């Protein structure tokens, strides 16, 4: 499987390292098996992580915006200026920079949430709250993937 899936809670060791779940390591593209890209989420108080392939896809989307627009500048600045490439050691451990740990409220352990083509790193309690809110919203609003896609297609016309 080439997607980041599932939920894992891992401890941060005395040296400040945390293990990337092995299921997540298996998703990393062959050219960057020991590197992940971390950055502050624009949607929540969490850290997002991915490989360089995903960052290149994001760059293409940002580049498709009007080069002189504020939106293009805001996305480019907010995403690319805060990217922190991080290397995994032989055991799959890495350091979460202090600025990102502070942003996400992470101290001694963190929760990894698979998001398909990327993953998020949360404070454990906030991760469970996020998971519960997401599921409850979908159920309450009777959302289905096919309805959302159909609605998007109709709005794009």
pLDDT tens profile 107-143:
999 999 999 999 999 999 999 999 999 999 999 988 8
12: tokens are 């941060």
Query: pLDDT grade, residue 31 (50/70/90)?
Result: low
Asked whether residue 14 is domain-assigned, the answer is yes
Q: Tell me if 8 sits within 8 A of 115, measured CB to CB.
A: no
Kindly report the CA angle at 96 between 108 and 115, in degrees rounded to 5? 95
100: tokens are 């990102």
Please list, in sequence order, all residues whose beta carbon lies within 8 angstroms of the beta carbon of residue 128, skipping any fewer than 6 positions away: 111
Cα–Cα distance, 11 to 18 (Å, whole number): 6
Asked whether residue 2 is domain-assigned, the answer is no
How many domains would you assign to the chain? 1
Closest to 109 measured CA to CA, from 6, 18, 7: 18
Write the CATH number for 118: 3.40.1550.20
Asked whether residue 126 is domain-assigned, the answer is yes
pTM of the model: 0.89
Cα–Cα distance, 149 to 145 (Å, whole number): 6
Name the residue range of residue 92's domain: 7-156
């Amino acid at each position: 499987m080439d997607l980041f899936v599932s939920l894992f809670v891992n401890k941060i060791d005395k040296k400040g390292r945390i293990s990337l779940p092995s299921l997540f390591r298996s998703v990393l593209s062959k050219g960057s098996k020991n590197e992940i890209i971390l950055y502050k989420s624009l949607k929540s108080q969490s850290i997002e992580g991915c490989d360089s392939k995903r960052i290149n896809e994001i760059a293409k989307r940002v580049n498709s915006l009007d080069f002189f627009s504020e939106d293009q500048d805001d996305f480019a600045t907010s995403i690319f200026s805060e990217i922190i490439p991080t290397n995994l050691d032989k055991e799959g451990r890495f350091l979460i920079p202090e600025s990102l740990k502070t942003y996400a409220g992470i101290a001694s352990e963190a929760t990894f949430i698979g998001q398909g083509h990327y993953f998020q790193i949360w404070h454990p309690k906030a991760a469970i709250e996020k998971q519960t809110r997401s599921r409850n919203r979908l159920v309450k609003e009777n959302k289905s993937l096919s309805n959302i896609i159909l609605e998007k297609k109709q709005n794009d016309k």
